[in-house]
């Protein structure tokens, strides 16, 4: 099932890994696997061990949080080329939200236990991975702040009526 060479090619062409050197990619490919989720399948649950992260190849994953009395609230949706999960980088390595496939979704999963061990001894590789995750985090934080602004709320300064 797992074709290391095929994954190597996939990772090479993926924007997240762009510019990483061959040796590192080869190692990362060794920690990678193809996975597939049907619509509605849970990818991971809040509180579960964060021992992987995912690169979306196709489909939509919803990051959700359960709110008592309101069911599940979707915080964001992730799509082709997006990266899912960074709790694997932060002790105690537990997922902080739920992730669920909203449609049939294909991902590459990366074994975090294997990566964490490698990063502890290979700081060069750790640097390259962390730089990439920092960019993802910055984008998510920016988006979260924009959502927090509630720009389209009444009085939030919508377009259309240009006067009092």
Partner 1 sequence: MTADLMLPRAFRITKVRRELADTFTLVLAPDDDGPVPPFQPGQFNMLYVPGVGEVPISISGDPAQPETLIHTTRAVGAVTKAMWSLKAGQSIGVRGPFGSSWPVEAALGDDVVIVAGGIGLAPLRPLIHAVMARRAEFGKVLILYGARTPDDILFDKQVRDWRGRFDLSVHVTVDRATGTWSGNVGVVTKLIKRGGFDPHHTTAYVCGPEVMMRYAADALVAKGVASTNIWLSMERNMKCAIGFCGHCQWGGRFVCKDGPVFNHAAVADLLPLTDF
Partner 2 sequence: MSTASGILSRNDLSALFDALAARGLEVIGPTVSEGAIVLAPLDGPDALPAGWTDVQAPGAYRLHPRDDGALFGHTTPVGGWKRFLHPPTVRLFQAATTADGFTITEGAPPPPRQAFLGVRACDLTAITRLDAVFQGNPFTDPIYAGRRAGAFIIAVTCAQAGPMCFCASMDSGPDLRAPYDVALTEILESDHRFLLEAGSAEGAALLADLPLTPATDRDTAARDRQITQAADQTRALPPGTAERLGRMLDHAHWNAVAARCLSCGNCTMSCPTCFCATVEDSSSLDGATAERHRVWDSCFSLDFSYIHGGSVRESGASRYRQWMTHKLSSWHDQFGTSGCVGCGRCITWCPVGIDITEEAATFAAVDAARHPVEA
Residues that bind partner 2 (CB under 8 A): 155-157, 161-164
Q: Does 91 bind partner 1 (CB under 8 A)?
A: no
Give whole-number Cα distances, 4 to 8, 10, 27, 31, in Å: 6, 10, 10, 9
Selection from partner 1, partner 2, none that 91 binds (CB < 5 to 8 A by kind) is none
Q: What are phi and psi of 50, to 5 degrees?
A: -90, 80
For residue 157, count other CB atoms closer than 10 A to its CB.
Answer: 9
Query: On the CB side of 154, how many CA atoms lie within 13 Å of its CA?
Result: 1
Q: Residue 57: CA atoms inside 13 Å, Cβ hemisphere, count?
A: 16
Largest CA distance in the chain: 63
Q: Which is nearer to partner 2, 69 or 164 (CB)?
A: 164
Binding to partner 1 (CB under 8 A): which residues in 118-147?
A: 139, 142-143, 146-147
- By beta-carbon proximity to partner 1, the closer residue of 102 and 125 is 102
Residue 121 or 161 having the CB closest to partner 2: 161
- Scanning residues 43 to 82, which ones bind partner 1 (CB under 8 A)? 60, 62, 73-77, 79-81
Binding residues (CB under 8 A) for partner 1: these are 60, 62, 73-77, 79-81, 102, 139, 142-143, 146-147, 149-164
């Amino acid at each position: 099932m797992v074709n290391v060479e095929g994954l190597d090619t996939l990772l090479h062409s993926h924007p997240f890994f762009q510019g990483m050197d061959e040796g590192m990619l080869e190692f990362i490919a060794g920690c990678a696997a193809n996975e597939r989720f049907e619509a509605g399948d849970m990818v991971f649950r809040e509180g579960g061990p964060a021992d992987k992260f995912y690169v979306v190849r196709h489909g939509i994953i919803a990051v959700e949080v359960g709110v008592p009395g309101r069911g599940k609230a979707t915080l964001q949706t992730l799509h082709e080329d997006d990266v899912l999960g960074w709790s694997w980088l932060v002790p105690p390595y537990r997922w902080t939200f739920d992730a669920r496939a909203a449609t049939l979704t294909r991902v590459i999963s990366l074994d975090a236990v294997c990566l964490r061990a490698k990063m502890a001894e290979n700081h060069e590789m750790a640097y390259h991975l962390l730089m990439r995750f920092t960019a993802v985090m910055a984008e998510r934080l920016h988006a979260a702040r924009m959502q927090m602004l509630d720009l389209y709320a009444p009085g939030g300064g919508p377009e259309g009526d240009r006067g009092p």
